[in-house]
């Protein structure tokens, strides 16, 4: 089987990461008859290209996630490579024990594609269908590779990479369109972070749709203040790219992580664990506050409220840098 995909593939405007992932799944199925599609998210905005082309390898389940994940484990035991499309709130959270035992423990060659948002306007980050705590859960599970691609193009390449990777993989996706980060030449490699912008004063480390683009925009805002920020897309949250992080910590000092995730246990936690061992430096973890909120609002509005849009990230980074420089003075 061909490993990886052509870096020439670029998502058309308006395509969500979840929809791009669907196209990559069809591509995997064209290359290798072992790929099966298991469906717990049939209302996907990107349509169902896999079902249209390979109906005999498409298994509709529509909910009942615990038994669906178990069946994925069984298919993997029988030599298939199940691709599970699901809402993370149900596929990863409700069926967590099946993921842990039937997939991770058995090192099942199964791939989980989880949307963290219900619809294009998901409302409150802590709302019923939202699964923004998925990274903390996923990275605690043994043997599980955890990927949060930055946009639709990266999601396509991440899906091909996941398909070529032996063992269980969780890919975090969004069902609504997010700003593009990558164009031609996206070279996605599991476990290897990507420096999107070089800089020497501090490093912004981000993962998953929306916030990587916001971190890049924040770096541009910081530049106007004379602050030179490096930006890393740390798309693989587990295993984490320790070398790239240690290098950034050594060269820029302050690390600011950015995630659409509770501030505990996600990307920031993973970075802190790595740097604590390898190169302790001042850190600031930006994410969703550890509190449940009930206000309505679009996803963009919610990100702004949490300080996860470009001005919010730039402001937090500026304050963290000033504080650190004050302590050093």
Partner 1 sequence: MTAQRFAVLEEAADTLRRHVVDMAADAGAHVGGSLSVAEILAVLYFDGVLRVDPAQPKMDGRDYLIFSKGHASAALYGALAERGFFPVAELASYKRMGSRLAGHPAKSIPGVELATGSLGHGLPVGNGIALAGKHDGRDYRVFVLLGDGECQEGVVWEAAMAAAHYRLDNLVAIVDRNGVQEDGPTEKIMALEPFAAKWRAFNWEVREVDGHDVAELSRALHAVPFAPGRPSLLLARTVKGKGLSFAENTSAWHYGKLSSEQRAQAFAELAASRAGQGR
70 binds partner 1 (CB under 8 A): yes
269 binds partner 1 (CB under 8 A): no
CB of 61 to partner 1, least distance (A): 7
Sequence-ordered list of residues with C-beta below 8 angstroms from that of 213, at least 6 positions apart, any chain: 150, 151, 178, 179, 180, 181
71 binds partner 1 (CB under 8 A): yes
- Distances in Å between the Cα of 236 and the Cα atoms of 52, 80, 303 are 30, 24, 22
Closer residue to partner 1, CB minimum distance, 26 or 57: 57
Closer residue to partner 1, CB minimum distance, 78 or 329: 78
Residues 118/87, Cβ–Cβ less than 8 Å: yes
Token pair 């587990």 in the structure block, residue: 238
299 binds partner 1 (CB under 8 A): no
Footprint of partner 1 on residues 44-63 (CB under 8 A)?
56-57, 59, 61
What would the x/- binding string for partner 1 be over residues 88 to 127, using CB under 8 A? ---------xx--xx--xx---------------------
Closest CA to 60 of 81, 80, 43: 43
Joined together, the tokens standing for residue 152 give 């639709």
Closer residue to partner 1, CB minimum distance, 71 or 303: 71
Tell which one of 21, 72, 132, 158 touches partner 1 (CB under 8 A). Answer: 72
Joined together, the tokens standing for residue 113 give 């594609």
75 binds partner 1 (CB under 8 A): yes
Token pair 């990230």 in the structure block, residue: 313
Closest CA to 257 of 317, 210, 315, 306: 317
168 binds partner 1 (CB under 8 A): no
Closer residue to partner 1, CB minimum distance, 32 or 277: 32
Q: Work out the angle at residue 167's Cα, subtended by the Cα atoms of residues 163 and 171, and round it to the nearest 5 degrees.
A: 55
Q: Footprint of partner 1 on this chain (CB under 8 A)?
A: 36, 56-57, 59, 61, 64, 66-80, 82, 97-98, 101-102, 105-106
């Amino acid at each position: 089987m061909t490993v990886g995909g052509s870096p020439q593939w670029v998502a058309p405007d308006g395509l969500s990461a979840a929809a791009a992932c669907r196209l990559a799944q069809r591509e995997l199925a064209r290359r290798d008859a072992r790929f099966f599609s298991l469906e717990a998210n049939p209302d996907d905005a990107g349509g169902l290209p896999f079902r249209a082309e390979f109906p005999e390898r498409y298994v509709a389940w529509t909910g009942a996630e615990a038994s669906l994940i178990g069946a994925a484990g069984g298919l993997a035991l029988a030599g298939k490579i199940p691709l599970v499309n699901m809402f993370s709130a149900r596929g990863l959270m409700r069926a967590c024990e099946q993921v842990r035992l039937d997939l991770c423990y058995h090192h099942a060659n199964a791939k989980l594609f989880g949307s963290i948002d219900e619809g294009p306007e998901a409302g409150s980050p802590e709302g019923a269908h939202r699964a923004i705590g998925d990274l903390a859960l996923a990275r605690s599970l043994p043997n599980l590779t955890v990927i949060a691609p930055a946009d639709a193009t990266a999601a396509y390449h991440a899906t091909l990479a996941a398909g070529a990777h032996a063992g269980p993989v969780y890919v975090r996706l969004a069902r609504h369109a997010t700003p593009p980060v990558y164009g031609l030449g996206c070279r996605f490699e599991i476990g290897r972070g990507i420096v999107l912008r070089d800089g020497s004063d501090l490093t912004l480390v981000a993962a998953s749709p929306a916030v990587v683009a916001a971190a890049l925009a924040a770096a541009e805002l910081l530049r106007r203040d004379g602050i030179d920020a490096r930006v890393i897309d740390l798309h693989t949250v587990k295993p984490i790219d320790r070398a790239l992080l240690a290098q950034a910590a050594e060269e820029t000092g302050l690390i600011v992580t950015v995630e659409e995730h509770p501030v505990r246990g996600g990307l920031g936690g993973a970075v802190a664990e790595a740097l604590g061992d390898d190169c302790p430096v001042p850190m600031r973890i930006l994410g969703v506050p550890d509190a449940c909120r009930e206000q309505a609002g679009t996803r963009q509005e919610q990100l702004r409220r949490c300080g996860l849009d470009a001005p919010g990230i730039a402001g937090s980074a500026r304050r963290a840098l000033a504080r650190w420089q004050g302590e050093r003075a």
